[in-house]
Amino acid sequence: MLDAPPCKTVISRTLVLEDVIYIDAREGLSADMVLAASIGLLPPGDVKEVLGRISLTADVFDTAFHWTDIEEDGEKGLALSYVTRQQPLGTTSHDEAFSSLSRMSSELGSRGDIARRILDKIFEAESTAHGLPPEQVHLHEIGRPQALLNIAGIGLVAPMISAPGEVVKCSTITTGRGVTVTSHGTMRIPAPAAAFLLKGLVHVPGDHPGERATPTGVAAVSVLATEQSDTRPDRPSARSVGFGTKRFAGRLGRIVMMRA
């Protein structure tokens, strides 16, 4: 595990950017995987700095942040996890969620509107699913600190690995199949909010039961990606893996990100 550096260090390094960032979401798509894989495309010094910033920001929200280097099936990557020291009760309102996200982004030193756009997408989807205006929607799992930290983290890292106007491509999304248990009860996969977010995106259920694509992951990709393609870069200049926490047929869910 890497030691977390002081939060106030300025990230001054710049990347030599290429033409395409490619997100392979055929084995999973969640916000923690997107964030982990994005961090993996940073230079090593920036990886340590970003992990430190997220850790210190999580502490502000009474949450412990952990990262683990994983090697499975010949692939090395990063997995992220959180432990909320005091589990929030009830739900999170529209204003509370955006207020928390704004505070997290400020603590992280994040600039731009990517995190806010992702959360806007989620509220739009939940609004459609519940038949309520977005301002009247209350979030369950997605309103908790760990989910909002993933969104804020993506808002920090995405501009560091991709220049404005650079092409970001995503593969076909594998949603999973069967049912999932949520705060609203048992639902078919994809759940209503996820199904709304998947509109206009190429997706398939895949071969194994369980939820592979979460609403936060789909919302993140819908903001970041400009097109979809299943043609992976032949010779990527950089490659990273973001592992999830669920196994499908014995194999951890994962996202692979590449710079072509």
Q: Residue 252 forms beta bridges with which residues?
A: 247
- The confidence score (pLDDT) of residue 183 equals 59
pLDDT at 11 over 60: no
**Residue 27: CA atoms inside 13 Å, Cβ hemisphere, count?**
19
Parallel, antiparallel, or unpaired for β 75-84 and 185-188?
unpaired
Nearest to 100 by CA among 45, 61, 154: 61
The domain segmentation of the chain, as residue ranges, is 20-259
Q: Is 39 left (phi over 0), alpha (psi -120 to 50) or beta?
A: alpha
CA distance 118 to 224: 9
Average pLDDT over residues 190-213: 94
Of all residues in the chain, the percent with pLDDT exceeding 90 is 80
Whole-prediction pTM: 0.90
pLDDT at 215 over 90: yes
- The confidence score (pLDDT) of residue 164 equals 76
The pair of three-digit structure tokens given for residue 63, joined into one six-digit string: 């949450």
- The confidence score (pLDDT) of residue 184 equals 60
- The confidence score (pLDDT) of residue 8 equals 38
Name the least confident of 30-44, 157-171, 236-250: 157-171
Average pLDDT over residues 157-175: 92
